[in-house]
Amino acid sequence: MKRISILFVCMGNICRSPLAEGIFGDLVAEAGLSGGFTVDSAGTGGWHEGEPPDRRSIAIAKSHGIDISGQRARRVQPRDFRDFDLILAMDRDNLAALSKSAPPGANIRLFGDIALGTGEEIPDPYYGGPGGFELVYTRLLTGCNSLLETLGVERASCNGNTSSVR
C-alpha cells in the first residue's frame, strides 16, 4: 500500500509547521500507522534554515510528551510539490506563496479547510506569549486528529489495527 506523504508549511518553519509535524507524527505512531505515512514540514521563507524550532514550540510540544527538538527548519523546495501528496499551509499568506510557485496539479490546501473543516487560519504565535503557542498546539492537535482519522481509517482497517484516534 502506498504511503501518504504530508508536508506542513508555515512561514519560517520554526513555530506552527514543526508542531504540526510533531503532533501528526506522534498520532500516527500511537495509531500504529507509521508505515503508512511520511510527514515533514517546511517554510515559505528561508530565514531560519538549519535552525531548530522556536524554543517555545519545543517547550509546548514537550509539555504534551512530543519531542520536536531534533527537527531543523528548511525552505520549501520545488521537488516538494512532486514528492508530497498533500501540502498543508497554516494560513492564507503561505497558501498564496505556495500556489505561486507550485506546478499545476500540486495538492496544496489550507490546514483549516482540510483538517478542521472551518477555513480558519492557524495564527502565527511568534510575536506573542506562551498562551499563543498553547492555542496553536490545541488547534493543530484537533486538526491532526481529524486528518488522521480521515486518512488513516482505511489503512487501519487494511492492517487489522485499531486507531486510538477514534
Residue with cell 509539555: 63
Determine how many CB atoms are found less than 10 A away from the CB of residue 112. 21
% the chain with pLDDT above 70:
90
CA torsion sign for 26, 29, 34, 37 is negative
158 is catalytic: no
- Predicted TM-score (pTM) of the model is 0.92
State pLDDT tens for residues 125-135: 999 998 999 99
Q: Which of 10, 15, 56, 139 is labelled catalytic?
A: 10
Determine how many CB atoms are found less than 10 A away from the CB of residue 130. 12
Instruction: Give the CATH number of the domain where residue 84 resides.
Output: 3.40.50.2300
Q: Which of 54, 74, 124, 139 is labelled catalytic?
A: 124
Grid coordinates given for 43: 517554510
The average pLDDT across 116-130 equals 95
- Does residue 166 lie in a domain region? no
Number of domains the chain contains: 1
74 is catalytic: no
124 is catalytic: yes
The boundaries of the domain holding residue 44 are 4-159
Cβ contact 122:111 at 8 Å: yes
Q: Which of 15, 16, 80, 144 is labelled catalytic?
A: 16
- Does residue 164 lie in a domain region? no
